Structure 1
Amino acid sequence: MANGKLTFRYDRVGDILYIDQCAPYAEQESEEIGDDVIARLNPESGAIENLEVLFFSKRVMESETLELPIDGELQLAG
């Protein structure tokens, strides 16, 4: 289901940054992967498809960097 491209959405009311590789769907499993970051996982492969970064504005204001507990590889979408 994941298309590889990342979409970033920010919910000001909930103070949550959503990082989506695909639209969230009901069958995904959710797992807290540390430091108030929730991963939404593909139910078949276990691959991370979405991330929810809780308390996003607080994190950005307290630090010059935002580190997430995941590994990633960036490349041009084509």
Structure 2
Amino acid sequence: MDAKLIFEYDRNGDILYINKCSPYPEQESEEIEYGIVARLNPSTGEIENLEILFFSKRLSEKTLFELPVIADLRLATASL
């Protein structure tokens, strides 16, 4: 599924959400690294959402922040 990435930060919970679609109950959740939760499409296993816990703390402790996922980034077209 091609979709624009939407970033949302919950300041109170210190969680960064990266979404390709809105989360829904049927998604499966998997902690892919400590404090990083992937929400997966139940049919395809594709990552549709990421939740990065302790986000500001992670940024303040390191100068480099990496996610354990591979991304295929392209410009969004008008058809999306």
TM-score bin (small chain)? over 0.9
Q: Percentage identity across aligned positions?
A: 60
RMSD: 1.0
Q: What amino acid sits opposite 1:68 in the alignment? A: L
Q: How far, CA to CA, are the matches of 1:9 and 1:45 in structure 2? A: 24
Q: Is the contact made by 1:3 and 1:22 (CA closer than 8 Å) also made in structure 2? A: no
User: In 1, distance between residues paired with 2:39 and 2:29?
Assistant: 5
Counting only pairs closer than 5 Å after superposition, residues 1-78 of structure 1 correspond to structure 2 as 2-78=1-77
Task: Return the TM-score normalized by structure 2.
Answer: 0.91
How far apart, in 1, do the equivalents of 2:2 and 2:9 lie? 20
Could you list the per-position Cα deviations for residues 10-31 of structure 1 after superposition, in whole angstroms to 9, with x for gaps in the alignment?
Answer: 0011100000000001110000
2:9 alignment partner AA: Y
The amino acid of 1:25's aligned partner reads Y
TM-score, structure 1 as length reference: 0.93
C-alpha displacement at 1:66, in angstroms?
A: 1.1
Q: Does the CA-based 8 Å contact 1:15-1:55 persist in structure 2?
A: yes
State the shift of 1:35 in Å: 2.5
